[in-house]
Amino acid sequence: MTVQIDKPSVRPSGLQPVRWSGRLAVGGLLLAGAAWVVHGVWEIRLALAGEPASGPPDQGDGVHRPLTALENSYHLVTAFGGGAVLLCALSFVSWLWRLRDNARALSGRGPRYGGVWVYLGWIFPVVNLWVPRGIVVDALEATAPGRRRPVSVDVWWGLWLIGMLSGVGIVYRDSTDEIIARAYSEVWPLLASDVAVVAAAVAGVFAVRAVTRVQDERMRAVAGDPER
């Protein structure tokens, strides 16, 4: 009589579970997307209310009139959106860092981009047009060479660039009072940018889930534990 003893699976050195960091990144994206939906709703409210007879909040030469209740609430909505984006950024970067480290352990080769770009790649001018996406794609290719890249990755990045380059999305140059003035006079560009940001968040959810699934499957295969 032969008794077969199953050997416990061993996770290769350097690999870390990626599921939970992926779920946190998804949660951060959904939170940011929801915050920008609220953002858009408030801009519509401002447009429907119309500019007060006293003019825009910022009246030039350092003069600011008292805000209306609606304008003041928009400032609060903007602050909430900023907090949501910060949480989204922290959770996404944490996921991206783990994704990158696991890809290096799985492939045995160094990543294409240095670790500093996991952070600076989002804020450094010009390179922020391709480096963050490049880090995701590099990690995916190192994890599963030859595997087709999920369409959601390119959709997410394209929408992110639209929202960023529009100047009124996640990264904008105008002050909150200037955005309020624009909502009174030209709300449609603001709403178009909001739609791009929300769509980028939704596409990002699909991208994170798809890339996480690919790496998790590869890690289970390497560990010899298909049911983990």
Residue 42 lies in a domain: yes
Total domains in the fold of the chain: 1
**Contacts for 42 with CB less than 8 Å, ≥ 6 apart:** 70, 73, 74, 77
Residue 61 lies in a domain: no
- Position 171 scores a pLDDT of 54
- Position 110 scores a pLDDT of 87
- Position 225 scores a pLDDT of 60
Residue 59 lies in a domain: no
The closest of 50, 36, 38 to 180, measured between CA atoms, is: 50
Task: Tell me the per-residue pLDDT of 191-223, one tens digit each, with 9 for 90 and over.
Answer: 988 999 999 999 999 999 999 999 999 988 887
- Position 170 scores a pLDDT of 53
Across the range 109-135, mean pLDDT stands at 89
Residue 108 lies in a domain: yes
227 has a pLDDT exceeding 70: no
213, burial (CB in 10 Å: exposed 0-12, middle 13-18, buried 19+): middle
Task: Tell me the per-residue pLDDT of 4-40, one tens digit each, with 9 for 90 and over.
Answer: 333 444 445 578 889 999 999 999 999 999 999 999 9
Across the range 116-127, mean pLDDT stands at 88
Q: Tell how far CA 108 is from the center of its chain.
A: 28
Per-position b or e across 120-157, b if 16+ CB within 10 A of its CB? ebbeeeeebeebbbbbbbbbbebbbeeeebbebbebbb
Residue 181 lies in a domain: yes
151 has a pLDDT exceeding 70: yes
Residue 11 lies in a domain: no
The closest of 202, 201, 203, 190 to 39, measured between CA atoms, is: 190
Across the range 162-177, mean pLDDT stands at 71
- Position 3 scores a pLDDT of 38
**Contacts for 101 with CB less than 8 Å, ≥ 6 apart:** 14, 16
Residue 118 lies in a domain: yes
Phi, psi of 225 (to 5 degrees): -135, 80
Q: Look at the alpha carbons of 167, 207, 110, 102 in this order and tell me if their dihedral is positive or negative.
A: positive
Residue 57 lies in a domain: no
Rg (CA), the chain: 22
**Residues of the domain holding 177:** 19-48+66-222
CA-CA distance, 6 to 66, in Å (whole number)?
A: 73
**Contacts for 176 with CB less than 8 Å, ≥ 6 apart:** 74, 75, 78
Count of CA atoms in the C-beta half-sphere (13 A) of 220? 12
**Contacts for 168 with CB less than 8 Å, ≥ 6 apart:** 174, 179, 182, 189, 190, 193
Task: Tell me the per-residue pLDDT of 60-119, one tens digit each, with 9 for 90 and over.
Answer: 777 888 999 999 999 999 999 999 999 999 999 999 999 999 999 998 888 888 889 999
3-state secondary structure of 58: strand
Is the CB of residue 150 less than 8 Å from the CB of residue 210? Answer: yes
